[in-house]
């Protein structure tokens, strides 16, 4: 039954993409990306935010690209974990405050974002009071066989109306690590974290 549902959904997704083939999307506003990141680093409900002692663990100024994928439903063997990808089904099935967060109509826009804004570097001015690093610095530390420990954020994935966003906050550690998915909504007062879920831990 679940296989039939997934196949039906894939057909509807392809149909949606064909219906929108002539539609031209605008890429997400960089100002929105900055405001979303600011909302995350200022949210005091998270393990990482301004004013916490965990500020001593640096935050990468390089936002990481997260690809939205349509998983292969024909294989009986699940694919190995890939922390640089998120299933479109995960996005659609997320419930925040007892309501489905994203709409199915966002599907084409999710996939459109895969090919734009592949890199994004945060301005030091917005990170005052936070210890920062770069992915290059952390790779150099790892190559020198030294322990690494830092946070990174992904480039936000936005809904078609640009009023909802998905971001992952990852705690990168040599012998440990975890990531949480953050769901943000654009209110009158600005972007706000309205939900979070554990993505993975080891």
**Domains of the chain, residue spans:** 26-201
More confident residue, 60 or 127: 60
- Alpha helix ranges (H) inside the chain: 2-19, 30-41, 88-92, 107-112, 135-143
DSSP string across 130-186: S-EE-HHHHHHHHHTT---EEEEEBPPEE-TTSSEEEEEEEEEETTEEEEEEEEEEE
Query: CB count, 10 Å around CB of 73?
Result: 13
Question: Which letter does DSSP use for residue 75 in this model?
Answer: -
For residue 11, pLDDT over 50 is answered with no
**Chain centroid to CA 11:** 25
Average pLDDT of 41-64? Answer: 73
Single out the residue of 91, 113, 111, 115 nearest to residue 103, CA to CA.
91
For residue 10, pLDDT over 70 is answered with no
Inter-residue contact 164 to 28 (CB < 8 Å): no
* Residue pLDDT, tens place only, 54-110: 547 889 999 999 999 998 777 777 667 788 999 999 898 899 989 999 998 999 999
Phi and psi at 178, nearest 5°, equal -160, 165
Length of the chain: 202
Single out the residue of 148, 196, 140 nearest to residue 171, CA to CA.
148
């Amino acid at each position: 039954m679940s296989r039939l549902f997934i196949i039906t959904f894939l057909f509807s997704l392809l149909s949606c993409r064909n219906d929108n083939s002539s539609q031209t999307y605008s890429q997400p506003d960089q100002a929105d990306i900055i405001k979303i990141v600011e909302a995350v680093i200022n949210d005091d409900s998270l393990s990482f935010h301004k004013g916490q002692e965990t500020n001593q663990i640096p935050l990468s100024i390089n936002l990481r690209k997260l690809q939205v994928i349509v998983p292969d439903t024909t294989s009986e063997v699940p694919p190995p974990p890939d922390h640089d990808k998120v299933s479109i089904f995960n996005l659609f099935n997320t419930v925040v405050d007892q309501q489905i967060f994203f709409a199915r109509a966002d599907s084409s826009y999710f996939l459109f974002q895969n090919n734009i804004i592949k890199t994004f570097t945060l301005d030091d001015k917005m990170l005052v009071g936070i210890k920062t690093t770069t992915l290059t610095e952390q790779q150099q530390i790892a190559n020198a066989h030294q322990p690494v420990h830092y946070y990174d954020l992904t480039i936000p994935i936005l809904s078609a109306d640009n009023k909802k966003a998905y971001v992952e906050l990852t705690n990168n550690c040599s012998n440990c690590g975890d990531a949480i998915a953050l769901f943000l909504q654009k209110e009158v007062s600005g972007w706000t974290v309205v939900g979070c879920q554990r993505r993975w831990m080891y």
